[in-house]
Structures are given as structure tokens and as C-alpha cells.
Structure 1
Amino acid sequence: MESKLPKNWVKTSPLEISKIIRGVSYGKSDAFQFEFDNSCLILRGGNIQDGEIVDGKDNVYVSVDLIKNEQFIQKHDVVIVGSTGSKNLIGKAATSSFESDKISFGAFLMNIRASETIDKRYFSYYFQTNYYREAIRNLAGGVNINNIRKEYIENLYFPLPPLAEQNRIVEKLDRLFAQLEILKTSMAKVPLLLKDFRQQVLTQAVTGKLTEEWRKGKELDSTTDLLKKIEIRRKKNDTITLLKKLDEIYNDNSKSVIYNIPSEWKEINLDRVCEKFSYGTSTKSDNEGEYVVLRMGNLQNGKIDWSDLKYTSEKSEFEKYKLEKGDVLFNRTNSPELVGKTSVYEGEKESIYAGYLIKIWNFKELNSYYLNYVLNSNFAKKWCSEVKSDGVSQSNINAQKLSKFTIPFPSPEEQQEIVNRVESLFAKADAIEQQYKILKAKIDTLPQAILHKAFKGELTEQLDTDGDSRELLKQIQELKNSTVKPKKATTKKVKNYPEGDGALGMVAESKK
């Protein structure tokens, strides 16, 4: 930030234009989780969020007798985290939008109160700049804890314009940041719209509406004949000991598609068109090895995510659990929102799969990519939420339950057409999402770019009528020299802390 300043600006420091107030120290026996007569809420690190003071969890109250007058929060105070075990949190700052004689701050926080002679809002914006945060992170460091010394703040470089320009800068910053918030709110809808669009596509796909016009006038393979051929082939290839299992498959009546499908399609359980459903390896995986072990975290949005991988070098495990291109993987366990995630393995790297995944061995008549789209539809997600069994801490859908999931079964030709159309529409959605991410990244950098220009004197015009900030600095110094330290107000001692519960919200209290 340090650079040549406009001619009517001056380089100064917080020491010259503000006062640093240390937080309240109190003992364990002084702190309570509830309000009581003559109590004061103590702000802590958790109350400092995104540049604002917010209500927090596990509020702490102490007697107002422990608070000095200057330690009560005033409007436009800058409260910062002065001591913490995290270097990322040290120096985190928030500006108070209220004042209250019932709210103060703890010893791990510091309060920087700007001179009445300057625009306090201009002063507070400074503590949201990257320049400030980086300077503090570089200065504050300890073996086990990070601390900000008073002089770290006092000696920071601070560019001070004349008061009239401070006002103009604040007005423009407020306007620009308000516009940014509107833009961010609008942008936040894009991922939701894209998610909804993809689900609408999948809904159209599994109900046959996506290929409704394409299907007209075409002579497609009969799904009834296909299923009969699969049954005959299975009975010829399977041993006699498996015939009971085949009877279970072909005599099952648990089909339950909850939506209408074209008359040419069939409603079937998944085991009708799959050979088997197998669990993956239970061998422990490592950060290095010869073969990738795909886990539930690698199943993302219907595709394999290769960014966080584990490995094994066990040749026997690879031979037993080796994946082939086109295999569909199903996540069978973990939290409810993760159960049912699926992806298609496309053979990018030699891989096996972990034990909490199920590999679906589908016959050639069932297109793997079509199946993957069916399993990613909202209909499948609803089914997963209904049939999963709740364990102690995890939900689970085993292979037997998965085998009885009902799917809409069109001809292989139509399955491929559905896949082509879904891929085309998803590609358009992906392109929009990529543009969104690029734009969002640019928008995310705008606040700091705007602040940088503001404190270099490039955000607003300099006017000769504004005067010189050197004169302003002299006024501040004269005011500091003439200020008499106020005496602490006396309050009635509280001998007994009454019992109670609940917590009065800070903002609500401040407005009373």
C-alpha cells in the first residue's frame, strides 16, 4: 500500500489518530453463561466474523463492576483478535455498528478507537485491507500462540487524506460494496439454478421425455425380447446352484417406479440386467503405491475425482478388485447425503475400489452411463433416503437392497441416445459453470482492489478546497493533548449473582 500519496494527504499511524484499549480481564469465578442484574456481555474471538461483530455461541457475562468506562463498545470501534493459536485468525477485525453499556470485550481482543476528528468509517475500512492483515501476520508470531503487541498496531503505516475526502471515500466505498453485495446475491443463485437444470435434464431422461420426439417412427429393439434373451443366457451360463437365486430375481414383485414411463420401456429391478454387485477391498490404503484405491470421496457429481487419491501395491488385491472401463461404482455407506453417490470409471488410471463402494456388474444391454444418470436422478436419491438402514452413526444400503432398485429400461439404442443428449446438455451447463467460477473469482478480488485504490488516493478526486491533512493531524494532536482522562463511573456492587438462563442477543440489546 505504501506509495507516493496525493499532495494533500499525509503519512501517519494509528498511534497518532486513535487509541488502543485492552480487553477485560476476569477470573473463572467471575464468568457466567447467563445474564443477570448489572451484567455485561463479553465479546470473544467467535464474535468477530467477516468484518462485523455478530452474536456468538456460549456467551459469557461478567459484572459491570469489572469494566472500565472506555471498555464499553462504541459505534465504529474496531475490535480485533489480539491473541490466538491460529496465524490465520490473528488480527481479524470487525467494526461495531452499535454502542452499548452492556457489551465489552475480553482480554484476547483489542479495541482501536479512532479520533473524533476523523471519519471513523474511513479508519475502520483500513482494517479490512490485505495490507493490514499481512502486516499483522508477519509481525505477530509465537511458538504456541500468536500475539499482537500494542506497538504493532500503533506503528502501522496509515495514509490520511483531508476529512472531506475521507467522507467522499467512505460514501463511495459504501456504495460500491452495497452493489457488490447485490451482485454476489445474484451470483449465488447460479449454482442452484445449474443444479436444478441438471436434475430437470435427468428427470426428462428417466421419464422418456428427453427422447420423446426422437423415438417416434423408429423400430427399436423390443425390451421384452431383450429381457427374455438375458434370462435364457443367464440360465444357460449359471450353475444349478444358482437357479434358486435366479428364481428370486425373476419371481420378484417389488418393482416400484414412481413415475410414468413410455409404453415401449420396461420397469425392472436392477438385478434383472446385472450379473452381480460386489464390495471392494478392505485392505488399508496409503499415500503411495502402485494402484489407485478409489474411495467415496472420489465419487463426485457422477464422475471420478482424481484430486485426492490413496494407493496400494498389493498385486493380489489389484487382480481381485481391478476396475474395467465403464464400471459403475455406488457408495453404500456414511452420512445420509453421501449414501447413493455414483460414478462411472473410465479407465484413466489402474484402480481398485474400497470396501464401502459397490461395483455394479451390468450386462451389455444396460448402458453404464445411462445407469449412472438414473442413479443420480432425484428419484434414485429419494429411494436411497427411504431404504437405507440407520446404524449407530452411519446409513447403509447393502448389495441386496441395491439389486432391488427399480429402473426404467428402454432399448439400448435409446439408452445411448439419452446418454448423448444428457452429455450435450450437461456440457453446456459445465461451460456456464466454468464462466461463473471465473467471474466469481474476479468478483472475490474486487473488495481488496477497491480498498487498495481507496487508500492510495485513486478512488475519488482530490480537491484543493479539501484543505491539507497535515492541518487535520495537528488538530488531532491538539485534541489528544487537551483531553482529560475521564474518571471511571461508579456502579453499585453486586454481592450475589442471581441464577438465570438464556442470553440477550447483542444487536437486540444494543438497539434498546
Structure 2
Amino acid sequence: MKNELPTNWIEVNFENIADATDFVANGSFKSLSDNVTQTKIPDYAILVRLSDYSKKWNGNFRYVTKSSYEFLSKSSLLPGDLFIANVGYPGKLFLMPDLGMPMTIGPNGLRIRSKIFSSNVFLSYYYRSPQGKKILNSIVSGTAQQKFNKTGLRKSSVLLPTFAEQQRIVVKLDELFGHLDVLKTRLKNIPQILKNFRQAVLTQAVTGKLTEEWRVGKELEDADLYLGRIYKSRVNYQIGVEKVYSDKGLNAPRKPSQSILDGSHIPISIPKLWKEVRLGDLIVDLTDYHANGSYVKLKANVTLKEEEDYACMIRSTNFEKNNFEDLLIYIDEKAYNFMHRSKLFGGEILISKIGNAGSVYLMPNLNRPASLAMNLFALRVNELVDNKFLYYYLISNSGSNLINKYVRGVATKSIDKISVRSVMVGLPSEEEQTEIVKRVEHLFAKADAIEAQYLSLKTKIDSLPQAILAKAFKGELVEQLDTDGDAKVLLEEIKKLKAEATKRPKKRVKPKPKRKKIIDISFESGVIDSSKISGKGFKVNVDAKYNSRLYNRVDTIVKSKLFIWLLDQPDNKTFEFDLLKAQVAMPYQVLSEQVIELLDLTSEGMRPGIKRVYENDKMTFQKII
């Protein structure tokens, strides 16, 4: 890497220019478990996690108590500190904002704090650059869960220019990324603008406004005569189906039902020359996977396969993700022929019948055998009706609203065949349908062209940050000034300070004896002398007569997390058991047993203690002294 260094730059060890610490720097796992209390209820300090940044600091934080925060003194956070994730998503980083209260770093992250030779902002840009990412990737290990530790980071190298050039790089990057953010914000609105435009076109199309001027002076076919031709075409289609089956010596399938829901007429706004019809009037068949036979027959004749075979099964997932290559399941030729009722050839209108019920898709021609998977209906459109017009009608806001009136369910939404047939449609003449499709596709083509330009620009903009950062850490982003000097001087200063720190004699500091807080516990009955009872940070003082059994009980309870928590509470404070569960990190059963023991000791005269209090038929506890 040294051969790649820009002029007047140096390569230094991380530990020479910054400090790295983490959650576990404060002690062993046992000591952390014993001394750190986490809670979802707001408390003294925020335990900062990568998820807080990912969720844009939405306030759904984890907290620690004041004593926990003080115990975690080696990893406290200040606004401007650099957080780098080192487990799970190694290398993901951010600069700490001011959250308005004390902060400390949670597990799976490192706190980086620069020394006088650099800045946190410069280091944040460095580790986002291709050069910095390469360094981090070199110390990452693990496959199931990738990670690196602070020791590996401390021993890694950093590319460093003079401090003056560092400052200019930061200023320039701040400026460029600020412009990029503004540009991204503007581009972010384009997909919604295009979506709104397409829906506006469809609304104009299905209400007749798109072709309003076109209809003037046209002698269009009478709507009733046109509908009569559609009915006759459907009859002829059914006769043809029956003949095909008869020629093969097979029983023809049952004629498609034409039933609709009673009282399901929903008035729609359409031009004078259009006709109110039902969706069932415009199709020759409404089928699905289960139209091929009973569950028993389907199970016996159809095996779904992950590996490619004769025919593919089409699911709503293929349309939602616009993927007809990688997300397919397959069936063999025998199963495909068995499911003759649900073969797909392209041009069918598909409607999801469960889950995202009512979603509408237009089947493409895949140039290969295809069949309908479960959870979709296939509508074969009458040859006298333009299937694209009907598709545009159904995906318009008007069409979607009409379909959704028949969707049932809350947790799992669904729609049935009779409801699909009952959906109202505004039907123009055959000639006007052709004109509507032509105009819609012309306008959609313009939207598609804009979208293609947007996607191309977005791809370029998304690649710009890495290109800019790469240039910055090649020494090509800002001008190198003669007045900057050479970073080698900076290296000599680092070595000098390090040598002085090594030579400086360590002062022998006589450890001060830890003074334990004296806690007075009284017993009205005077039955214990507990002068020997000591817990972490306190000593119990009781004037009473010795009793070994009671002594052991008091000795146990005063060292519990419950009692330590109680000492921090104001006198006469009332609290519910749920608060204890949230703030005292103990297993539920153990906490319950200790609460009962403390209640018993309190009843025997121990102070401070707790008692039960009933408010509005609800039990709470109260600290008493």
C-alpha cells in the first residue's frame, strides 16, 4: 500500500491516531450481567445500538440505569463520536447525534474517538471509502456471522495526510455530499410522480374523458347490439370447447357459471354511449388451480418441483417482483396436461384471490408451457373485448375500488368467483376500446422513457459517493498546498509523543480504601446483630440481638438487585410489579420469591421495606421506612 500513497501522506497504525472501545471493555460477561440493568422504560441513559440508527432514531430505545451507566464508564458516548458496527454488519458506521441525554454504546459496536492528529469526521469518511472498506474487510472473520474485534482494528493501518489537508478534505466532502443529498431528495419524488401520472391517465381512460373529443361525430355501435354480439360469442366459445373435448372422447367441463351476487349493483359514472355491465359478462371462462379436480386428485397427479421441468407455475410473486426467471416452480408434462383447466397462454387477466386479494395482473406470453398456481384466478376474456382495455380498467383507481368492495376478511383477505363476476365495468364500443388502449400506451411510453432516464441517473448518483471518496483518499480531491508541510512531520510527532508516554515514569498511587455506604436497617423486635453483613458498596448497621436464621435471610436480601434498586427509590414510593420486572434484571421466578421474602421481613419489623397497597382493586407496593 505504501507505493500507492499520495504525496505527503503517511500510513499509520490506527491506535496512534484514535482510541477504540466497546461494551465488553467494562468487564467480564458475568460482571456486565451483574451490574448492567437494561430496560425499555426511559431511564438515565440510552444504550445505543446499530438498530437505533437504522430506524432513524425513532425513540424506541433501550435504556440503562444510572448505576449501570457509571459501571459502563469505559464506553460512554458523546455527540460526534464515531460508531462502527463490528458484528453482524461489520463496517456500517455513523457519527453520534446529540440525543439529549447520557449515552453509552451497546454490544456489537465500537466507539471510535480520534486523538489530536485527526478527527472523527475524517475517519468516518475514510472507513466509508473503498480504501477504508478494504482495511475493515481484511480484519473481518466468520461466515455465519461476520465480525471483527477492536484489537484487529487497533493494529490496522490508516492513510493520513497532514492535518490541514484533512480539514480541507472534510470540508469538500461535506459540500459534495450535501449537494448529493439535495439531488437525491428531489429524485426521490419522481417514482411517486410517475405513479400518480399513470393513475391519472387510467382515470381519464376509464371515465371516457381521454377519448371525449375523439367520440364527437363518430357513428359508434349501439351498446346493446355490441353486448348482444359478446353474449353470442361466449355461446360459440362454449360450443367450440365442447367439440374439442368430444373429438378427444372426453367429457366436457361444466359450463362456466354466470351467477352474480344479489343486490350487488354499484352505480358507476360513465359516458352516455357506454354500457354498465358485469365483469362476468365480458369473459368466457373464470378458472383456477382447483378447477382441475379435488384435492385428492390434485395431490395424486401434481407434484410441484424446485428444479426446472416441462412447465412453470405462475404465482402472484412473479408479478409483484417482476421476475419470471428465478422465482418459478415447475411441473412435469403429465401434471401440465392433467391441469387442462388452468393452462396459461398469455393475455389472460389474473386476479389474486387470497392474501393480496383483488390485485390484478396481465399474463405475459412466456413462449413456454405455463399453468396457474394456487391463490390466483384466471379470466379468459371474450374475443370481442380488448383484454388490455379490461386490464387497464381493473388496475385503475376506479376499478380497484370496485373490486375491493367484494374483498372480505381482516387478517387474511380473500375474494371468490361469484364476487369477481359481480364487479361493475363501464363498457365502451369495441372501436373506442382500441383507441383508449392506443392512447394509454402512448402516454405510458412517455412515462416509461422518463422512468428509464431516472433509473439511469439514480444509478450514476448512487455510485458517486464511492467514486468521490476513492478520489479523496488518493489525494486527488483537494489541492495539496506547500504550506501544509509533510505528513511525515506528523508521523514524527506521533512517535515522539508515544516515546514520551513510554519513558514517563508511572506514579505510584496508593489505593484509597473504598468507603462503603452505611445503611441503617432497624428491627422493631430487636432480634439481630448484623454488623458483619456487607454488600457491594454498602454495610448494614443494626442494633439488635443475634439470630442466625434471620441473619441469613437479611444477609441474602440486602445483597439482591431488588433491595439495591429499592434503596435508590424515594421514601413512600409506590410501584407495580411490572415496573420491577422492567427495571430489575432478574428471572421472573427469582424476583417474585425475593419480593415475597422482603414483604415477610418487612412484616417482621425490618426497615426499609415494602408493603402491599391496594388502589382501585389493583395491588401495588410501597417503600416504607
Flag whether TM exceeds 0.5 (same fold): yes
Is 2:454 the counterpart of 1:436? yes
Q: Contact 1:21/1:110 (CA < 8 Å) preserved in 2? A: yes
What is the letter of the counterpart of residue 208 of structure 1? G
Q: Deviations over 1:60-111 (max 9, x none)?
A: 4243465354421123322222233xxxx12322222348872111342221
Residues 133, 48 of structure 1: alpha-carbon distance in 2 compared, 3 angstrom cutoff: farther
Q: Cα distance, 1:324 vs. partner?
A: 2.8
Q: Cα distance, 1:358 vs. partner?
A: 0.6
Is 2:209 the counterpart of 1:209? yes
Report 1 or 2 for greater relative contact order, CA contacts < 8 Å, sequence distance ≥ 6. 1
Q: Can you give the 5+ residue segments of structure 1 that lack an aligned partner in the other structure?
A: 504-512
Distance in 2, matches of 1:290 and 1:212, equals: 48
Q: Contact 1:300/1:341 (CA < 8 Å) preserved in 2? A: no
SS at the partner of 1:339? coil
Distance in 2, matches of 1:244 and 1:425, equals: 36
What is the letter of the counterpart of residue 345 of structure 2? E
Query: 5 Å matches for 1:276-315?
Result: 276-280=285-289, 283=302, 285-287=304-306, 288-300=308-320, 305-313=324-332, 314-315=335-336
The root-mean-square deviation of aligned C-alpha atoms, in Å, is: 3.6
Distance in 1, matches of 2:278 and 2:284, equals: 12
Is 2:52 the counterpart of 1:47? yes
Query: 5 Å matches for 1:385-396?
Result: 385-390=404-409, 393-396=411-414
What TM-score, normalized by structure 1, do the two folds share? Answer: 0.84
Q: Deviations over 1:107-145 (max 9, x none)?
A: 422212111232331122112223333443343223644
Q: Cα distance, 1:235 vs. partner?
A: 6.8
* Partner in structure 1 of residue 266 of structure 2: 256
Q: Deviations over 1:143-198 (max 9, x none)?
A: 64433133421233322111111111111111111110100000011111110111
Is 2:349 the counterpart of 1:331? no
* Partner in structure 2 of residue 507 of structure 1: none
Q: Contact 1:159/1:456 (CA < 8 Å) preserved in 2? A: no
Distance in 2, matches of 1:329 and 1:245, equals: 18
Distance in 1, matches of 2:58 and 2:131, equals: 27
Distance in 1, matches of 2:101 and 2:63, equals: 15
What is the letter of the counterpart of residue 27 of structure 1? S
Distance in 2, matches of 1:40 and 1:67, equals: 12
Distance in 2, matches of 1:36 and 1:307, equals: 47
Q: Contact 1:293/1:351 (CA < 8 Å) preserved in 2? A: yes
Distance in 2, matches of 1:362 and 1:379, equals: 20
Residues 56, 330 of structure 1: alpha-carbon distance in 2 compared, 3 angstrom cutoff: same
Q: Find 2:64's aligned residue among 61, 65, 84.
A: 61
What is the letter of the counterpart of residue 379 of structure 2? I
* Partner in structure 2 of residue 445 of structure 1: 463
SS at the partner of 2:435? helix
What is the letter of the counterpart of residue 283 of structure 2? C
Q: Cα distance, 1:35 vs. partner?
A: 5.3
Same amino acid, percent of matched pairs: 31
Q: Cα distance, 1:376 vs. partner?
A: 0.7
Distance in 2, matches of 1:22 and 1:233, equals: 76
Residues 35, 377 of structure 1: alpha-carbon distance in 2 compared, 3 angstrom cutoff: closer
Distance in 2, matches of 1:95 and 1:278, equals: 57
Q: Contact 1:265/1:409 (CA < 8 Å) preserved in 2? A: yes
Distance in 2, matches of 1:244 and 1:190, equals: 44
Residues 29, 56 of structure 1: alpha-carbon distance in 2 compared, 3 angstrom cutoff: farther
Is 2:565 the counterpart of 1:496? yes
Q: Deviations over 1:390-435 (max 9, x none)?
A: 06x3101111101011111011111111111111211221121111
What is the letter of the counterpart of residue 289 of structure 1? D
Query: 5 Å matches for 1:2-401?
Result: 4-24=4-24, 26-27=32-33, 30-34=36-40, 39-49=44-54, 54=57, 57=60, 59-62=62-65, 63-64=67-68, 66-84=70-88, 89-98=89-98, 102-142=102-142, 144-231=144-231, 254-258=264-268, 260-280=269-289, 283=302, 285-287=304-306, 288-300=308-320, 305-313=324-332, 314-335=335-356, 339-390=358-409, 393-401=411-419
What is the letter of the counterpart of residue 75 of structure 1? P
Residues 207, 3 of structure 1: alpha-carbon distance in 2 compared, 3 angstrom cutoff: farther
Residues 221, 252 of structure 1: alpha-carbon distance in 2 compared, 3 angstrom cutoff: farther
Bigger CA radius of gyration: 2
Residues 404, 2 of structure 1: alpha-carbon distance in 2 compared, 3 angstrom cutoff: farther
Residues 422, 61 of structure 1: alpha-carbon distance in 2 compared, 3 angstrom cutoff: same
SS at the partner of 1:227? helix
What TM-score, normalized by structure 2, do the two folds share? Answer: 0.70
